[in-house]
Amino acid sequence: MNWLNTKYILWTGVLSILLSISGPVSATYRTDTIINTYKADSLRFIIKADSIIAFQAGDSLFTIIKADSVLPAASKKVKHTRYDKRVHRFRRNWERIIPTHSKIQFAGNMGLLSFGTGWDYGKHNQWETDLLLGFIPKYSSKKAKITMTLKQNYMPWSINIGKGFSTEPLTCGLYMNTVFGDQFWVNEPERYPKGYYGFSSKVRFHIFMGQRLTYDIDPQRRFLAKSVTFFYEISTCDLYVVSATTNSYLRPRDYLSLSFGLKFQWL
């Protein structure tokens, strides 16, 4: 028995010397159907979906863990149903009604001051639709008045002039406004002979032209708006046009109105 123990000890010593001379030994491991080779002095791992990962460190340390606990499972392409597409389309349509800007306008035959909001759209946001509420002081009348204006704007082009500034050299459009109050009417009251006035005192249609100057606020300094636009407009209404064509003594200042305003861009 002592001789056998001595023999095994001698063989172990010889193998240790040979291993130290020949360098690291390569070993081959098989996991399911994949065969990989690992060096004894390195750290490797096998990755296979729904199988295991085997780590080898040094000559004798092995750790086995599940593959899906190390790496996330591969994402699968989700197939949207007709219901999903309909919901997404429904949400996109509702997002379109979110206002993109607000405006303050002085004069323009829509009130001393008008406040409102609106929407930009078009390939280059060259179209705008505004909804404004205006205020007319009572002046010589018994009480102040409120107006409402629906306005359509068009800007054919925009020019970048540097340092955050840009300009729209031409803006044009039309708008319709009305005055709230019992003393204004769409159809002539019965107290007047038929066709006596021939127009409505409650609703006016306007056309305008103007220009704009826009400043894009630095992203680090934005608070309520991302840009501010100053604009002016020269406008006239249907009643003024009729008066100008039938009364030659009228001058441009009699049938043209000048207005100013600010636009605050949110989105």
CB of 148 within 8 A of CB of 132?
yes
DSSP assignment letter at 259: E
Pairwise CA distance, residues 221 & 85, whole Å? 38
Instruction: Return the pLDDT at 74.
Output: 57
Q: Average pLDDT of 69-92?
A: 74
Q: Which residue has the higher pLDDT, 93 or 171?
A: 171
Q: Which residue has the higher pLDDT, 190 or 260?
A: 260
CB of 170 within 8 A of CB of 156?
yes
Q: Which residue has the higher pLDDT, 20 or 216?
A: 216
Architecture of domain 98-265: Beta Barrel (2.40)
CB of 170 within 8 A of CB of 153?
no
Instruction: Return the pLDDT at 116.
Output: 97
Angstrom CA distances, 136 to 140, 183, 253, stand at 11, 14, 21
How crowded is the C-beta side of 30, counted as CA atoms within 13 Å?
Answer: 2
Domain ranges of the chain: 23-68, 98-265
Residue 65 has pLDDT above 90, yes or no: no
Q: Average pLDDT of 125-139?
A: 94
Pairwise CA distance, residues 238 & 149, whole Å? 15
Q: Average pLDDT of 115-121?
A: 96
Cβ-based neighbour number of residue 229 at 10 Å: 21
Three-class secondary structure of residue 63 per DSSP: strand
High-pLDDT (> 90) share of the chain, %: 49
How sure is the predictor about 35, in pLDDT bands with cuts at 50, 70 and 90? very low
Pairwise CA distance, residues 96 & 120, whole Å? 10
The three-point CA angle 90-95-100 to 5° equals 160
Angstrom CA distances, 115 to 64, 118, 148, stand at 70, 10, 10
* 250 phi-psi bin (left φ>0, alpha ψ -120 to 50, beta other): beta
Instruction: Return the pLDDT at 90.
Output: 86
Instruction: Return the pLDDT at 203.
Output: 94
Pairwise CA distance, residues 199 & 165, whole Å? 43
Global pTM value: 0.67
How sure is the predictor about 12, in pLDDT bands with cuts at 50, 70 and 90? low
Pairwise CA distance, residues 264 & 117, whole Å? 9
Instruction: Return the pLDDT at 18.
Output: 53
68 alpha-carbon distance from chain centroid:
38
Q: Which helix (H) or strand (E) holds 165?
A: strand 165-179
Written as six digits, the tokens of 13 are 């010593």
